[in-house]
């Protein structure tokens, strides 16, 4: 996976305008964004040391140094978290989550009780481990409902958004959705740099989708926990749904979509739930 520290630092440095960091600009500049010596000065580290980091001559740095660089580059909280993940040594690269890709009985009971919202259980790669009937009807009625039971065939939310035309057509603002998908993948790749299945997913999407490859190379980072999405569903038409994600005790993620109470969107969701 393309999670090298030097490449990420270069990308972040090039997007910052000097005047944004209170630096005077005179004459022409040969590089976009900040110069290396400017980042080093803002972060309070030597230019030689920062250059070694950018040129990947030093693979890791202390958290204190990385936090100083993050402030100099004006990184967001998610970007700072990602920098710390890829810039510090990994203690146990082969350690697996205890319940990875499995549902415990409590999670299965929770899913069975969620009849009025579209709900799915995902792992961190966004493979769908389970979905309730409403989530299935909302996103992928063209797939067999029981496909999530097969570890080799279960759908992946991000992959479907890029290569499944039925799913892609659901989003009114697909460009925003695609950006959100890739920035989330970049975010979680910092924690799972040694996951071959995640690397295979990223590689497959890079080959199959020029859109994905172009966004991935930007190295933008952001988590995706809550928000609002606008859908154009073939059965019920326009749907504005809010979504939230929550970590579960079995190590997976519960994702739910719901509408504003007493709105036309809630009525459309109820209609869709009746099949």
pLDDT of residue 3: 60
Count of all residues that appear for the chain in the document:
275
The answer to whether residues 126 and 258 belong to one domain is yes
The answer to whether residues 43 and 111 belong to one domain is no
Q: Picking from 76-85, 96-105, 130-139, which range would have the lowest pLDDT averaged per residue? A: 96-105
pLDDT bracket for residue 103 (50, 70, 90): low
The answer to whether residues 138 and 258 belong to one domain is yes
The percentage of the chain sitting over the pLDDT mark of 70, rounded to a whole number, equals 88
Question: In a 10 Å sphere around its CB, with 0-12 CB exposed, 13-18 middle and 19+ buried, how is residue 261 labelled?
Answer: exposed
Specify the CATH number for the domain of residue 224: 3.30.450.180
Answer yes or no: is 93 within a domain.
no
| Mean pLDDT, range 53-71, rounded to an integer | 83
Q: Picking from 22-31, 168-177, 211-220, which range would have the lowest pLDDT averaged per residue? A: 22-31
Answer yes or no: is 43 within a domain.
yes
pLDDT of residue 93: 45
Answer yes or no: is 97 within a domain.
no
pLDDT of residue 17: 85
| Mean pLDDT, range 175-204, rounded to an integer | 90
The answer to whether residues 18 and 83 belong to one domain is yes
Answer yes or no: is 95 within a domain.
no
pTM: 0.73
The answer to whether residues 131 and 253 belong to one domain is yes
Sign of the CA dihedral running 143, 141, 159, 93: negative
The answer to whether residues 220 and 119 belong to one domain is yes
- Assess whether pLDDT exceeds 60 at residue 218: yes
Helix, strand, coil percentages for the chain (3-state, nearest 5)? 45, 15, 40
| Mean pLDDT, range 77-102, rounded to an integer | 68
The answer to whether residues 180 and 47 belong to one domain is no
Answer yes or no: is 96 within a domain.
no
CA dihedral 123, 129, 130, 135 (to 10 degrees): 60
- Assess whether pLDDT exceeds 50 at residue 105: yes
- Assess whether pLDDT exceeds 50 at residue 95: no
The answer to whether residues 67 and 118 belong to one domain is no
The angle formed by the CA atoms of residues 193, 254 and 240, to the nearest 5 degrees, is 110
pLDDT of residue 38: 87
The answer to whether residues 37 and 152 belong to one domain is no
Structural domain that includes position 223 = 105-273
The answer to whether residues 235 and 124 belong to one domain is yes
Answer yes or no: is 199 within a domain.
yes
- Assess whether pLDDT exceeds 60 at residue 85: yes
- Assess whether pLDDT exceeds 90 at residue 178: yes
| Mean pLDDT, range 63-84, rounded to an integer | 88
Answer yes or no: is 94 within a domain.
no
Answer with the one of 34, 53, 87 that is the final residue of a domain. 87
Specify the CATH number for the domain of residue 42: 1.10.260.40
Cβ count within 10 A of residue 49:
14
Answer yes or no: is 92 within a domain.
no
Residues 6+ apart with CB under 8 A from 77: none
More confident site: 241 or 112? 241
pLDDT of residue 40: 87
Rounded Cα gap, residues 237 and 31, in angstroms: 48
143: DSSP letter: S
118: part of which helix (H) or strand (E)? strand 118-122
More confident site: 217 or 61? 217
The percentage of the chain sitting over the pLDDT mark of 90, rounded to a whole number, equals 43
The answer to whether residues 75 and 111 belong to one domain is no
Answer with the one of 53, 87, 121 that is the final residue of a domain. 87
- Counted domains in the chain: 2
Answer with the one of 87, 114, 132 that is the final residue of a domain. 87
The answer to whether residues 42 and 131 belong to one domain is no
- Assess whether pLDDT exceeds 60 at residue 146: yes
């Amino acid at each position: 996976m393309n999670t090298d520290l030097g490449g990420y630092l270069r990308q972040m440095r090039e997007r910052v305008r000097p005047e944004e960091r209170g630096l005077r600009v005179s004459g022409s500049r040969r590089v976009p964004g900040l110069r290396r010596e400017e980042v080093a000065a803002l972060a309070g580290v030597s230019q030689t040391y920062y250059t070694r980091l950018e040129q990947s001559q030093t693979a890791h740095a202390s958290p204190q140094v990385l936090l100083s660089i993050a402030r100099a580059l004006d990184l967001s909280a998610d970007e700072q978290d990602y920098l710390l993940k890829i810039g510090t040594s990994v203690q146990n690269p082969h350690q697996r989550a205890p319940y990875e890709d499995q549902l415990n009985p409590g999670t299965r009971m929770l899913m069975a009780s969620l009849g009025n919202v579209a709900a799915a259980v995902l792992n961190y790669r966004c493979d769908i481990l389970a979905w309730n009937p409403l989530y299935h009807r909302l996103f992928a009625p063209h797939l067999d409902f029981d496909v999530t039971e097969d570890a080799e065939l279960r759908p992946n939310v991000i992959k479907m958004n890029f290569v499944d035309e039925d799913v892609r057509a659901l989003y009114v603002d697909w460009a925003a959705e695609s950006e959100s998908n890739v920035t989330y993948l970049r975010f979680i790749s910092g924690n799972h740099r040694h996951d071959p299945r995640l690397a295979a997913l990223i590689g497959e999407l890079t080959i199959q989708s020029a859109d994905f490859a172009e966004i991935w190379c930007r190295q933008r980072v952001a988590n995706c926990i809550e928000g609002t999405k606008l859908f154009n569903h073939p059965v019920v038409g326009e749907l504005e749904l809010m979504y939230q994600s929550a970590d579960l005790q079995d190590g997976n993620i519960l994702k739910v979509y719901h509408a504003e109470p007493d709105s036309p969107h809630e009525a459309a969701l109820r209609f869709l739930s009746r099949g």
